[in-house]
Amino acid sequence: MADQDSRKGVSYVTPEVLAWIERVHVPHDPASMRAFESPEREGMPAIQVGASEGKTLALLLRLVAARKVVELGTLAGYSAIQMGRALAKGGQLWTVELEPRHAAVARANIEAAGLGAVVTVIEGRALDVLEGLASKGPFDAIFIDADKGSYDRYGRWAARAIRPGGLLLADNAYYFGDLLADTAEAAAMRRFHEESREHFETVCIPTPEGLLLGIRKG
Protein backbone atom coordinates (compact mmCIF):
# COMPACT_ATOMS: atom_id res chain seq x y z
CA MET A 1 0.00 0.00 0.00
CA ALA A 2 2.82 2.40 0.88
CA ASP A 3 4.41 1.76 -2.52
CA GLN A 4 1.10 2.52 -4.26
CA ASP A 5 0.69 5.72 -2.26
CA SER A 6 4.16 6.86 -3.25
CA ARG A 7 3.17 6.69 -6.91
CA LYS A 8 0.06 8.91 -6.64
CA GLY A 9 0.24 11.87 -8.96
CA VAL A 10 3.09 10.37 -10.98
CA SER A 11 2.69 10.44 -14.77
CA TYR A 12 3.99 7.45 -16.66
CA VAL A 13 3.29 8.96 -20.09
CA THR A 14 6.59 9.98 -21.63
CA PRO A 15 6.85 11.03 -25.30
CA GLU A 16 8.57 7.73 -26.03
CA VAL A 17 5.84 5.67 -24.36
CA LEU A 18 3.12 7.64 -26.12
CA ALA A 19 4.79 7.24 -29.53
CA TRP A 20 5.10 3.47 -29.02
CA ILE A 21 1.48 3.15 -27.84
CA GLU A 22 0.21 5.07 -30.87
CA ARG A 23 2.26 2.94 -33.27
CA VAL A 24 0.69 -0.18 -31.80
CA HIS A 25 -2.92 0.94 -31.31
CA VAL A 26 -3.56 3.78 -33.75
CA PRO A 27 -1.37 3.41 -36.85
CA HIS A 28 -2.23 5.83 -39.63
CA ASP A 29 -3.03 4.76 -43.15
CA PRO A 30 -2.13 7.20 -45.97
CA ALA A 31 -5.52 8.96 -45.95
CA SER A 32 -5.62 9.57 -42.21
CA MET A 33 -1.95 10.59 -42.18
CA ARG A 34 -2.65 13.08 -44.96
CA ALA A 35 -5.41 14.69 -42.87
CA PHE A 36 -3.37 14.57 -39.67
CA GLU A 37 -0.42 16.34 -41.29
CA SER A 38 -2.53 18.87 -43.23
CA PRO A 39 -2.45 21.66 -40.62
CA GLU A 40 1.35 21.84 -40.70
CA ARG A 41 1.48 21.42 -44.47
CA GLU A 42 -1.24 23.98 -45.16
CA GLY A 43 -0.27 26.58 -42.57
CA MET A 44 -3.33 25.87 -40.43
CA PRO A 45 -3.48 25.75 -36.62
CA ALA A 46 -2.25 22.37 -35.39
CA ILE A 47 -5.20 21.89 -33.06
CA GLN A 48 -6.77 18.66 -34.31
CA VAL A 49 -7.38 15.83 -31.86
CA GLY A 50 -4.49 13.48 -31.22
CA ALA A 51 -4.32 10.03 -32.76
CA SER A 52 -5.47 8.25 -29.61
CA GLU A 53 -8.32 10.72 -29.10
CA GLY A 54 -9.44 10.21 -32.69
CA LYS A 55 -9.49 6.44 -32.21
CA THR A 56 -11.41 6.92 -28.94
CA LEU A 57 -14.10 8.89 -30.77
CA ALA A 58 -14.38 6.14 -33.37
CA LEU A 59 -14.69 3.35 -30.82
CA LEU A 60 -17.32 5.24 -28.84
CA LEU A 61 -19.41 5.71 -31.99
CA ARG A 62 -19.15 2.00 -32.74
CA LEU A 63 -20.31 1.15 -29.24
CA VAL A 64 -23.62 2.94 -29.84
CA ALA A 65 -23.87 1.87 -33.53
CA ALA A 66 -23.99 5.54 -34.49
CA ARG A 67 -25.59 6.41 -37.84
CA LYS A 68 -26.23 10.15 -37.52
CA VAL A 69 -23.49 12.32 -36.07
CA VAL A 70 -22.70 16.05 -35.93
CA GLU A 71 -19.23 17.52 -35.47
CA LEU A 72 -18.67 21.18 -34.61
CA GLY A 73 -15.19 22.22 -35.76
CA THR A 74 -13.79 20.40 -38.80
CA LEU A 75 -10.33 21.92 -39.27
CA ALA A 76 -8.57 19.59 -41.79
CA GLY A 77 -11.02 16.72 -41.43
CA TYR A 78 -8.94 14.31 -39.35
CA SER A 79 -11.52 13.64 -36.65
CA ALA A 80 -14.28 13.59 -39.28
CA ILE A 81 -12.45 10.79 -41.09
CA GLN A 82 -12.02 8.78 -37.90
CA MET A 83 -15.69 9.14 -37.01
CA GLY A 84 -16.94 8.72 -40.58
CA ARG A 85 -15.20 5.35 -40.81
CA ALA A 86 -16.86 4.25 -37.56
CA LEU A 87 -20.46 4.90 -38.62
CA ALA A 88 -22.90 2.06 -39.02
CA LYS A 89 -23.96 1.17 -42.57
CA GLY A 90 -25.85 4.01 -44.19
CA GLY A 91 -24.58 6.51 -41.64
CA GLN A 92 -23.98 10.22 -42.19
CA LEU A 93 -21.74 12.75 -40.50
CA TRP A 94 -22.34 16.51 -40.77
CA THR A 95 -19.30 18.56 -39.80
CA VAL A 96 -19.37 22.35 -39.44
CA GLU A 97 -16.38 24.60 -40.19
CA LEU A 98 -16.22 28.39 -39.98
CA GLU A 99 -13.12 29.00 -42.15
CA PRO A 100 -13.69 28.41 -45.90
CA ARG A 101 -10.04 27.49 -46.53
CA HIS A 102 -10.09 24.92 -43.75
CA ALA A 103 -13.33 23.52 -45.14
CA ALA A 104 -11.75 23.16 -48.59
CA VAL A 105 -8.76 21.28 -47.17
CA ALA A 106 -11.09 19.05 -45.16
CA ARG A 107 -13.23 18.22 -48.19
CA ALA A 108 -10.14 17.17 -50.15
CA ASN A 109 -8.94 14.98 -47.30
CA ILE A 110 -12.36 13.43 -46.81
CA GLU A 111 -12.62 12.65 -50.53
CA ALA A 112 -9.13 11.11 -50.45
CA ALA A 113 -10.32 8.87 -47.61
CA GLY A 114 -13.25 7.68 -49.74
CA LEU A 115 -15.83 9.29 -47.44
CA GLY A 116 -17.24 11.96 -49.73
CA ALA A 117 -20.69 10.35 -49.69
CA VAL A 118 -20.64 9.85 -45.92
CA VAL A 119 -19.24 13.12 -44.53
CA THR A 120 -20.78 16.49 -45.42
CA VAL A 121 -18.74 19.63 -44.64
CA ILE A 122 -20.94 22.63 -43.90
CA GLU A 123 -19.34 26.08 -43.99
CA GLY A 124 -20.55 28.67 -41.55
CA ARG A 125 -20.76 29.79 -37.95
CA ALA A 126 -21.97 26.82 -35.94
CA LEU A 127 -24.57 28.78 -33.99
CA ASP A 128 -26.07 29.93 -37.29
CA VAL A 129 -26.43 26.47 -38.84
CA LEU A 130 -27.44 24.28 -35.92
CA GLU A 131 -31.16 24.90 -36.06
CA GLY A 132 -31.14 23.97 -39.74
CA LEU A 133 -29.37 20.74 -38.87
CA ALA A 134 -31.88 19.87 -36.17
CA SER A 135 -34.36 18.55 -38.74
CA LYS A 136 -31.92 15.75 -39.57
CA GLY A 137 -31.93 14.50 -35.98
CA PRO A 138 -32.28 13.11 -33.48
CA PHE A 139 -28.57 12.31 -33.54
CA ASP A 140 -26.67 9.38 -32.13
CA ALA A 141 -23.70 11.56 -31.19
CA ILE A 142 -22.47 15.13 -31.28
CA PHE A 143 -18.78 16.02 -31.03
CA ILE A 144 -17.92 19.58 -30.00
CA ASP A 145 -14.48 20.95 -30.87
CA ALA A 146 -15.17 24.55 -31.84
CA ASP A 147 -14.91 28.01 -30.20
CA LYS A 148 -14.73 27.48 -26.47
CA GLY A 149 -16.79 30.51 -25.48
CA SER A 150 -19.86 28.94 -27.10
CA TYR A 151 -19.63 25.47 -25.53
CA ASP A 152 -22.49 26.23 -23.17
CA ARG A 153 -24.78 27.10 -26.09
CA TYR A 154 -23.62 24.10 -28.09
CA GLY A 155 -24.34 21.90 -25.10
CA ARG A 156 -27.90 23.21 -24.80
CA TRP A 157 -28.53 22.47 -28.47
CA ALA A 158 -27.02 19.00 -28.10
CA ALA A 159 -29.32 18.24 -25.16
CA ARG A 160 -32.29 18.81 -27.47
CA ALA A 161 -30.81 17.08 -30.51
CA ILE A 162 -29.30 13.84 -29.15
CA ARG A 163 -31.47 10.76 -28.76
CA PRO A 164 -31.77 8.99 -25.40
CA GLY A 165 -28.69 6.80 -25.05
CA GLY A 166 -26.77 8.94 -27.55
CA LEU A 167 -23.39 10.51 -26.89
CA LEU A 168 -22.21 14.02 -26.14
CA LEU A 169 -18.46 14.39 -26.75
CA ALA A 170 -16.46 17.57 -26.26
CA ASP A 171 -12.73 18.17 -26.61
CA ASN A 172 -10.66 20.76 -24.71
CA ALA A 173 -12.89 20.34 -21.68
CA TYR A 174 -10.04 21.47 -19.38
CA TYR A 175 -9.99 24.75 -21.33
CA PHE A 176 -6.21 24.59 -21.65
CA GLY A 177 -5.77 24.65 -17.88
CA ASP A 178 -7.77 27.88 -17.48
CA LEU A 179 -11.12 26.29 -16.63
CA LEU A 180 -11.31 28.09 -13.29
CA ALA A 181 -10.11 31.46 -14.61
CA ASP A 182 -12.18 34.61 -14.15
CA THR A 183 -12.99 35.10 -17.83
CA ALA A 184 -16.16 34.95 -19.90
CA GLU A 185 -14.91 31.96 -21.94
CA ALA A 186 -13.91 29.99 -18.85
CA ALA A 187 -17.31 30.72 -17.29
CA ALA A 188 -19.02 29.45 -20.46
CA MET A 189 -16.98 26.25 -20.31
CA ARG A 190 -17.88 25.75 -16.65
CA ARG A 191 -21.56 26.24 -17.48
CA PHE A 192 -21.17 23.61 -20.19
CA HIS A 193 -19.80 21.13 -17.65
CA GLU A 194 -22.48 21.92 -15.07
CA GLU A 195 -25.46 22.02 -17.43
CA SER A 196 -24.47 18.83 -19.25
CA ARG A 197 -25.07 16.88 -16.03
CA GLU A 198 -28.76 17.78 -16.17
CA HIS A 199 -29.37 15.82 -19.37
CA PHE A 200 -26.44 13.39 -19.57
CA GLU A 201 -24.59 10.91 -17.41
CA THR A 202 -21.18 12.54 -17.65
CA VAL A 203 -17.50 12.06 -17.00
CA CYS A 204 -14.48 14.06 -18.10
CA ILE A 205 -11.94 11.59 -19.49
CA PRO A 206 -8.43 12.72 -18.49
CA THR A 207 -6.93 12.99 -21.95
CA PRO A 208 -4.26 15.72 -22.28
CA GLU A 209 -6.97 18.25 -23.23
CA GLY A 210 -9.89 16.72 -21.34
CA LEU A 211 -12.64 14.90 -23.25
CA LEU A 212 -16.14 15.21 -21.83
CA LEU A 213 -18.28 12.13 -22.43
CA GLY A 214 -22.01 12.12 -21.73
CA ILE A 215 -24.76 9.57 -22.35
CA ARG A 216 -28.18 11.15 -22.89
CA LYS A 217 -30.60 10.29 -20.16
CA GLY A 218 -33.89 8.68 -21.18
Please state which of the four CATH numbers 2.40.50.100, 3.10.510.20, 3.40.50.1000, 3.40.50.150 is assigned to the domain occupying 12-216: 3.40.50.150
- At 1, is the pLDDT very low, low, confident or very high (cuts 50, 70, 90)? very low
| pLDDT tens profile 64-105 | 999 999 999 999 999 999 999 999 999 999 999 999 999 999
DSSP single-letter state for residue 85: H
For residue 34, what is the enclosing H or E element? Answer: helix 30-42
pTM strictly above 0.85: yes
| pLDDT tens profile 118-164 | 999 999 999 999 989 999 999 999 999 999 999 999 999 999 999 99
Residue 211 has pLDDT above 90, yes or no: yes
Q: Give exposure, 8-30, as e/b (b: 16+ Cβ within 10 Å).
A: eeeeeeeeeeeeeeeeeebebee
Crossing angle of helices 184-199 and 151-161, in 10° steps, is 20
Residue 104 CA to residue 109 CA, distance in Å, equals 9
Residue 149 CA to residue 192 CA, distance in Å, equals 10
Mean pLDDT of all residues belonging to the chain: 94
List the domain boundaries for the chain.
12-216
| pLDDT tens profile 152-164 | 999 999 999 999 9
